[in-house]
A and B are shown apart, each in its own frame.
Chain A
Amino acid sequence: MATVQERFDAIVVGAGPSGNAAAYTMAKGGLKVLQIERGEYPGSKNVQGAILYADALERVIPDFREDAPLERHIIEQRIWVMDDTSHTGMHYRSEDFNEEKPNRYTIIRAQFDRWFSSKVREAGGTVLCETTVTELVKDTKGNVIGVMTDRQGGPLLADVVVLAEGVNGLIGQRAGLRDELKPENVALAVKEMHFLPQEVIESRFNLKGDDAGVVIEAMGTITKGMTGTAFLYTNRESISVGIGCIVDDMRKSGMTPYNLLDSFKQHPSIAPLLAGSEVKEYVAHLIPEGGFHAMPETQGNGWLVVGDAAHLVNAVHREGSNLAMTSGRIAGETIVWLKRRREPCTAANLAEYRKRLEDSFVLKDMRKYRKIPALLHDNRHLLNLYPHIMSAAAQIWLRVDGKAKKAKESEIIQRLRKQRGLRGVLVDGWRFARAWR
């Protein structure tokens, strides 16, 4: 690296959705941007389910559909409440999702992130891969002025550092900008990629053509009493299947994540969908699920934080990449706006980023669901008991066995009374409604 100090308008740490959105927005805005990524190529260290929310990307790159590597647009969403032998499902499928500009797509992150990064380069940003940022550089007053990397040479300096380092963001933590993650606030998710011929996927999921897809989000006894969810997403010629649980629950359970995944795959509702597939990758990743109350400070003198590193995940709706891209874009826009006004990136000026986040869906949604993590933490039975109750009720109702319908109704009520108590059900409903609103 050159000995003469090159100075940048902004340094972005990380090349995931939030970092790419920030770097692209700033490069497009005419800023001199350096983006540093530790992977061999952008995406090589990144993991997601993965669903792309078009709206968030469209606001960064309006014509992304022309060349972005997309798998299938989603025309059907299935939400399954599962017990050991059954699932109770709510499915929504609509022809309206077969629109000119579809709203959600499945994607493969290693390919997608690489594409997104190529757009950053086209916009004029400098992307440095295979380089790990080791620490933030501060001046004597404690203002962030740049980064150190594992490459030879001195510090890399910039007016502002955008921390897009992901959930496992060591740099911000080590610099004291945010606390260490707590095991009860992060989920560990594991996933496998199952390859199948396109036609097989299409016939199993009732799909016509290779660009429409189905996603399944599942909860219930599949997480063995732990707070968590599982998923199954259709890609063009593969199926992403995974399961995630809160780390603290996982640790206490003594179960291994891979056995949990295997047991989900063997569930009688899931196994036929995967039959005959070839597994080509097994991955693991943390998801910040502590919600609004687990969020760190979002900005300070010379720095701001975006995406997973800022704990921006809406666990209830399984959304994260859209919050990442939106926070990255807003961070980029704020910095471009400050630059044009010739104002420095002080904590006070960067508070504009926070203000814009508050005005967007990002912090509105984070606030809306702020009570959900604690609710799930304190009410384990919600994810375990109710799937059993629902399954039993459905079976009693559907089996035709000579019993009178009235007797079936009272049997269902009796079971509910025994397993939870009517008062308990009311309390659960009330608590849930309060946390939801």
Chain B
Amino acid sequence: MSNRIEEKLYQNRYMVDAGRPHIKVKEHDVPSEPLKSLVTTCPAGCYSLNEQGKVEIVADGCMECGTCRVVCAETGDIEWNYPRDGYGVLFKFG
């Protein structure tokens, strides 16, 4: 995650559901092209490539837009649910 996006997200309000991420990346050896593209396309910079070349997610900064879900709908690389009970992003202005 670049510093720039971290600075942007720092302004936002979140109620993080600790230990229960609402998005999961399915186990893979080599990421599909759509999955890899999320490293740049996710507007919150939640996705990154790890040392083994696999795609990881830290969903804490997620704005619940659904872009990753749409991009990976065909390949089924991720499991996407809305956060439960009011958790997740809380827009001050929206």
A: residues with CB less than 8 A from B are 38-40, 43-48, 50, 108-111, 113, 129-132, 150-151, 167-168, 170, 180-183, 186, 188, 190, 192-193, 238, 247, 250-252, 254-259, 262, 279-286
Contacts and interface: CB of A to CB of B under 8 A. Distances in A.
A290 to B, nearest CB: 11
B70 A186 contact: yes
Contacts of B92: 110, 280-281
Given A188-B67, A192-B8, A247-B71, A109 B93 contact: yes
Interface in B25-56: 34, 37, 40-41, 43-45
A283 B94 CA distance: 7
A107 B71 CA distance: 30
A255 B39 CA distance: 10
A181 B12 CA distance: 27
A281 B11 CA distance: 5
Contacts of B80: 170
A247 B85 contact: no
Interface of B: 2, 4-5, 8-9, 11-12, 15, 34, 37, 40-41, 43-45, 63-67, 69-71, 73, 80-86, 88-94
Contact of B43 (A40, A183, A258): A258
B34 A251 contact: yes
Given A44-B90, A257-B43, A130 B64 contact: no
Given A38-B82, A190-B43, A258-B5, A284 B73 contact: no
A130 B85 contact: yes
A111 B92 CA distance: 8
28 contacts: A43-B94, A44-B94, A45-B88, A45-B89, A47-B94, A50-B94, A110-B94, A113-B94, A130-B85, A132-B85, A150-B84, A150-B85, A151-B85, A168-B64, A181-B70, A182-B70, A183-B71, A188-B65, A190-B43, A256-B45, A257-B43, A258-B45, A280-B11, A280-B92, A283-B63, A284-B43, A284-B44, A285-B63
A130 B90 CA distance: 11
Contacts of B88: 45
Contacts of A111: 93
Contacts of A38: 82-83, 86
B40 A193 contact: no
Contacts of A47: 63, 91, 94
A167 B70 CA distance: 11
Contacts of B64: 45, 168
Contact of A247 (B40, B63, B70): B70
Contacts of B37: 251-252, 254
A44 B65 contact: no
Contacts of B82: 38, 132, 170
Contacts of A108: 93-94
Q: Identify which of A48, A113, A188, A262 gathers the most chain B CB atoms within 10 Å of its CB.
A: A188
Contacts of B8: 192, 258, 279, 282
A47 B69 CA distance: 18
Nearest to B67: A188
A48 B65 CA distance: 12
Given A256-B40, A258-B4, 5 more contacts: A44-B86, A44-B90, A45-B89, A50-B94, A258-B43
Contacts of A285: 63, 65
Q: Identify which of B9, B41, B83 gathers the most chain A CB atoms within 10 Å of its CB.
A: B41
A246 to B, nearest CB: 11
Contacts of A258: 4-5, 8, 43, 45
B6 to A, nearest CB: 10
Given A247-B41, A254-B40, A262-B4, A284 B94 contact: no
B94 A251 contact: no
B76 to A, nearest CB: 11
A422 B69 CA distance: 43
Given A45-B91, A282-B12, A170 B44 contact: no
The 8 closest A-B pairs by CB, nearest first: A130-B86, A168-B66, A284-B43, A109-B94, A282-B8, A257-B43, A110-B94, A284-B65
